[in-house]
Amino acid sequence: MLHSFFYVMWYDIRSYITNLSTLATVCLFYLSIIIVIPFGLDGNSTVISQSSTGFIWIAFVLCALLCIEKQFSQDIHTDILDILSLRYSLALICFSKAIAVWVAILLPLILFTPLSAILLHLPFSQLYPLLISLLVGSPAIAFIITLGGALSLTHNRGSLLVAILCLPLCIPVLIFGVTAASVSIYGYDNNTSGLKLLFALDLLAVALLPWASGEILRIELENK
């Protein structure tokens, strides 16, 4: 049972790495949002640097939603999912897909964040809490993406609609992520409640979303 989990994860990660288009699209979209923001704010550097954690978090969530379509894209054209579902639990497969997208897409995106922090004049002292908050918040987002991917499996052009459906689910992560990232701005250095709540959201996502996505997949495979 467990080896299937590792192999699904490993082959997905390798697919993302051998075919770099998804990663490149997501990273470039991330950078372009960040580059565009100062133009919208009339180049006012104090406003930009004050709210840059919020901008980076919003850009991160939007870019993550771009992967929804790719999450199960190869399973639309093949029968791998049907065959895996004969032996392994779909919830487990969804779980490994979420981990794969986290490792192959969201982690590189977090590595890109220092660059966007420089572009938005983020004070260097705030970069560290921002990175930590992204690192802690992103697993929950990966599970939400997998849920969206499962929903968009049979609707080829529905992925944009599904992104709209998934965005509200990301709002709690966004709220607590920004809280955790801006702790040092407000000077509560010992207040880690934002991070703790992000961890709680991660646990909630791990506990609920793979089962939900697995059930959605089962229904979609039955109606295929």
Partner 1 sequence: MTMELSIHNVSVARQEKTIFSSLNFTAYAGDIVCVTGKNGSGKTTLLRCLCGLLPYQNGQICLSHNTGRYVQHTDSQWGRYVSFLGSKNPLYEHYSAQENIDIWCRYWQLPRLSSQEKERKLDEADLTKQRDTPIHYFSSGQKRRLSLVLVSLTYNSVYLLDEPDIMLDSCGQAYLQNLLTTLSERHVITFISTHHSKSIPSNQTLNLDEVSRHHCTHVSVTPS
Interface residues toward partner 1, by CB under 8 A: 3-4, 7, 11, 14-15, 18-19, 74, 77-80, 82-87, 221-223
At its nearest, how many Å lie between partner 1 and the CB of residue 2? 12
Cβ closest to partner 1, residue 73 vs residue 184: 73
Cβ closest to partner 1, residue 76 vs residue 175: 76
Cβ closest to partner 1, residue 203 vs residue 219: 219
Cβ closest to partner 1, residue 103 vs residue 131: 103
At its nearest, how many Å lie between partner 1 and the CB of residue 30? 24
Amino acid of residue 59: A
At its nearest, how many Å lie between partner 1 and the CB of residue 13? 12
Q: How many helices (H) and strands (E) are present in the chain, helices listed first?
A: 13, 0
Instruction: Report the candidate in 146, 188, 148, 194 with the shortest Cα–Cα distance to residue 172.
Output: 194
> Tokens representing 37?
């923001």
> Tokens representing 124?
């260097």
Instruction: Report the candidate in 6, 8, 15, 37 with the shortest Cα–Cα distance to residue 105.
Output: 15
At its nearest, how many Å lie between partner 1 and the CB of residue 126? 39
CB 130 within 8 A of CB 60: no
CB 80 within 8 A of CB 74: yes
Cβ closest to partner 1, residue 74 vs residue 191: 74
Other Cβ atoms closer than 10 A to 191: 14
Instruction: Report the candidate in 181, 143, 146 with the shortest Cα–Cα distance to residue 55.
Output: 181
At its nearest, how many Å lie between partner 1 and the CB of residue 143? 23
